[in-house]
Chains A and B, each alone.
Chain A
Amino acid sequence: MSDPTVGVAERQVDLAVVGAGPAGLSAAVVAAENGLTVALVDASPQAGGQYWRHPDERHLDSYARPESTGHHHWPHFRDLRTRLSRAVDAGRVLHLAGRQVWQVLRPEGAPFALRMTPTAGRDASAPADRVVHADRLVIATGAYDRQLPVPGWTLPGVMAAGGVQALYKANQVVAGRRAVVAGTGPFLLSVAAGLADAGVEVVAVCEANALSRWAATPLRATQEPGKLLEGVGYARTFLRDRIPYRTRTIVTEVRGRGRAESVVTARVDGAGRVRPGTERELEADLVAFGWGFTPQLELAVNLGLDTRIDVDESLVVRVDDAQRTSLPGVYAAGETTGIGGAVQSCAEGELAALTAVADAAATAPAERSRRLARRIRRGRRFAIGMHRASPVPRAWSDWVRPDTIVCRCEEVDAAAIAETVTGLDADDPRDVRVTARPGMGWCQGRVCGFAVSKLTAEHSGCAWTREQLEPLQKRPIGVPLRLSDVAELDIEGRITP
């Protein structure tokens, strides 16, 4: 293992971790404490990821509520943060914050090269700050809200459920006064409870599935007491604020002139088909949609890591029971391996680090690794139960009208996608993408990818496989970047000063 100080100064480390959420933060801290030099790269200016997103640490005095507002497991985060800063001070971790990795290369026989660009603002960084070399790599890039198109979802005032939560946690700003939270899964409860605590009137939480689905799955909830306690906490808020929680209910349309003013809700059957006559209009200036999460996989897919479709229909990185991916030296942890929550992500990050340490020293995993692997298997069973209880309803595309925008960036509607598949025989999302142009805009299919793949499969009658999902996850450049960043690369891909 390399000398920490020399390695860090040369931007050459034993292990690079991309993502400083629960998974990546745990991985970086544990790897450093076990002797590796580490570079921790994250798009955010401070560690914590989506789960522990919190106000700017340099300006805590200016916030009305404490930085822990709305957070579970905050003491655990504080402990990780303290250990991170200790490792940074000791020169064992190089924390590259506010930097997005847009490409990872593995030149023949050489270490991995991670290229990055600042997340925001004028690029003040020296060129040396734009590339890190590492012998091993942990992908902990997390996930973002999965979305389904519905008429009116492009109106301002409509937001991703996680985005509403992020705005509140990091900025202590609520995005409206009367809110409807809709989609599926327990995360909706957390968003609604957070809004209610912040003084927003939550006029309805619409859960597309029936609660009886939970009873049908052997959840082994007693093995996850923490989850039960969280649930009890939300229930208390719901009762206190009399938040209507409607199951088998969806939002079929958002209405408004220039911004969201109301939603139409409807009751659905088990497949998600609207039961006629159950429509109701509710006034709301904030609509938060969440249909589970989509793992952020561009770096993983570009590296060619094996993927699979998880129980929730998301494309995830395939890992062994020690968090190794199909590519030697690359590990994955957290939501990239399957949506399982923050506690699971922490355990996976820690295990990925311990496996990297064992692999680097060519030693066998120790007792701690075995315990973690057992815990992760248990967490995975819980996650499977959760996914089975809150699937994307089979008939969701019935809610979409021909003129409903599917791709927000390029403004491609459902009719254009259907015509491409049926009229031009494009049965592959790749063909649909280049022909009708969904997923070709700024976000590169991050938001519409799932829906476009689903619609293509449905219109073409093709089976739902990773071939349907991967094309819209393929983005040779992981994040949009300035042309000048590319212009500064010389022919062999080095950054020229």
Chain B
Amino acid sequence: MSPTDPRAELRFDGTPVPFVPGQSIGAALMANGISSWRTTRVEGRPRGLFCGIGVCFDCLVTVDGQRSQRACVTPAHPGQDVRSADPSTPLPLPGAADE
């Protein structure tokens, strides 16, 4: 994949999302009109980017099976599997699995 390849794409809940190499996952989603991608634990409200710099944890996604990643600070990569699955469900005990 050359740096300027305009076809850089990740998958978001199975749907292809194009991005510019170097962008964050959050930026890629926003640029494609996706402004929210998770719901809150208590009230089930939609959330997306808020602080934009890794402080608020509103933008959590699961990336290649790794849960609770901040979309705003995680670089997008071609072929990446990004999922909006509820990141607040309990994590397995440490050591039980590699997250």
* Interface, chain A (partner B; CB < 8 A): 43-45, 50, 55-56, 58-59, 61-63, 119-122, 144-145, 154-160, 162-164, 166-167, 170-173, 175, 258-259, 296, 408-411, 441-443, 446-447, 480, 482-484, 486-487
- CB–CB B3/A61 < 8 A: yes
The 7 closest A-B pairs by CB, nearest first: A163-B52, A56-B22, A171-B27, A442-B57, A59-B22, A156-B36, A483-B94
Q: How far is the CB of A52 from chain B (nearest CB, A)?
A: 13
Q: Is B14 an interface residue (CB 8 A)?
A: no
CA distance A157 to B49 in the complex (A): 8
Complex interface: chain A residues within 8 A of B3 (CB)? 58-59, 61-62
List A contacts of B75 (CB < 8 A). 45, 56, 120-121
B97 shortest CB reach to chain A, Å? 10
User: Which residues of chain A have C-beta atoms less than 8 A from B64's C-beta?
Assistant: 122
Known contacts being A61-B4, A487-B95, is A171 close to B24, with CB within 8 Å?
yes
- Evaluate contact between B74 and A163: CB separation under 8 angstroms: no
Contact surface of B with A, Cβ cutoff 8 Å: 3-4, 6, 20-24, 26-27, 30-31, 35-36, 40-43, 45-58, 60, 63-64, 66, 69-70, 72-75, 91, 93-95, 98-99
A447 and B66 form a contact (CB under 8 A): no
The docked-state distance in angstroms from the alpha carbon of A489 to that of B3 is: 39
**CA–CA, A156 and B41, complex, Å:** 16
> Closest residue of chain B to A484, judged by CB?
B94
B53 shortest CB reach to chain A, Å: 5
Cβ A162 vs Cβ B52 within 8 A: yes
A122 partner residues in chain B, CB cutoff 8 A: 64, 66
From known contacts A167-B52, A443-B57, infer whether A120 and B69 are also in contact, taking CB-CB under 8 Å.
Answer: yes
Q: Tell whether A58 pairs with B53 under 8 Å between CB atoms, given A120-B69, A121-B74.
A: no
Among A62, A144, A170, A487, point to the contact of B51 (Cβ < 8 A). Answer: A144
Q: Evaluate whether A62 and B22 lie within 8 angstroms (CB atoms) in the complex, with A121-B63, A156-B36, A482-B99 already known.
A: yes
Instruction: List chain A residues, Cβ under 8 A from B57.
Output: 409, 441-443, 480
